[in-house]
């Protein structure tokens, strides 16, 4: 079962850059997308529900902002839009789907760079999100969660760690949250399989030719509950796929 997560930085813009051709060629079982910047009714039918897929959407109240989507070849047992907390769900940041063998959660964490208030909001969302995942684990569910976490975990995960140590995205309190995720039994599966790999990034600034120089950050993740580790076939980053300032990441599981 192949899962892909991709921050598309505007799904309509991604469509103009070949998103549907890429999806048809890649043909994942499940694709989650973040930062869709659209409501489903704003999308052409073939983008809203591509051939061979069913789709679900969590959209922000504010037009052209945030939003996540999920495309699946198979029908999940259940899909939940949001966390059930209005101040987070109004920004369209969470979708979860129960596939029986595991529950998949797609998330787009807030960016905390704009202000101290937005950083607080980001940290509050992180805690609420992790509480939601805890409840699923307590109910006996295996959990995979993925998406744009908007945080690089360790120095290996960005090109310039020292200059960014006091900037949101690499603050100690943000990184501590990922430490807490791991302490609760989740595995950052890409880093688990590639512990020493440098230059493995998922986001590059659109300025100064950063992507061509591979000056980037790894801020997109697949985390799995530890009981799924033996099911992992592959966990990859796909930096050659264009169409966004992020690249897709993938996880293949064997059931």
- Residue among 29, 131, 148, 176 flagged as catalytic: 148
Residue 192, exposed/middle/buried by CB under 10 A (0-12, 13-18, 19+)?
middle
How far is Cα 194 from Cα 96, in angstroms, rounded to an integer?
27
**How far is the first Cα of the chain from the last one, in angstroms, to the nearest whole number?**
7
Maximum C-alpha span of the chain: 48
Handedness of CA 67, 123, 175, 94 (dihedral sign): negative
Catalytic: 148? Answer: yes
**CA contacts within 13 A on the Cβ side of 92:** 23
β-strand 78-81 against 54-58: which pairing, if any?
unpaired
How far is Cα 199 from Cα 152, in angstroms, rounded to an integer?
13
How far is Cα 14 from Cα 18, in angstroms, rounded to an integer?
7
Enumerate residues 6+ apart whose C-beta is below 8 A from 41.
none
Catalytically active residues, by annotation: 148
């Amino acid at each position: 079962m192949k899962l892909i997560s991709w921050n598309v930085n505007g799904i309509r813009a991604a469509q103009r850059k070949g998103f549907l051709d890429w999806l048809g060629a890649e043909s994942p079982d499940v694709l989650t997308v973040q930062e869709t910047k659209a409501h489903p009714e704003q999308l052409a039918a073939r983008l809203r529900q591509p051939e061979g897929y069913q789709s679900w959407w969590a959209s922000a109240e504010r037009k052209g902002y945030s939003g996540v989507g999920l495309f699946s070849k198979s029908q999940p047992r259940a899909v939940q839009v949001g966390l059930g907390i209005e101040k987070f769900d109004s920004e369209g940041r969470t979708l979860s789907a129960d596939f029986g063998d595991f529950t998949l959660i797609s998330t787009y964490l807030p960016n905390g760079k704009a202000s101290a208030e937005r950083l607080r909001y980001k940290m509050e969302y992180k805690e609420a999100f992790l509480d939601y995942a805890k409840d699923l684990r307590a109910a006996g569910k295996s959990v995979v969660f993925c998406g744009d976490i908007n945080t690089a975990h360790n120095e290996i995960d960005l090109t310039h760690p020292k200059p960014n140590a006091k900037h949101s995205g690499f603050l100690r309190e943000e990184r501590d949250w990922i430490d807490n995720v791991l302490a609760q039994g989740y595995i950052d599966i890409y880093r688990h399989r590639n512990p020493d790999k440098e230059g493995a990034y998922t986001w590059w600034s659109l300025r100064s030719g950063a992507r061509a120089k591979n000056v980037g950050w790894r801020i997109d993740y697949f985390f799995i509950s530890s009981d799924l580790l033996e099911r992992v076939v592959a966990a990859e980053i796909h930096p050659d796929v264009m169409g966004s300032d992020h690249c897709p990441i993938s996880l293949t599981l064997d059931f």
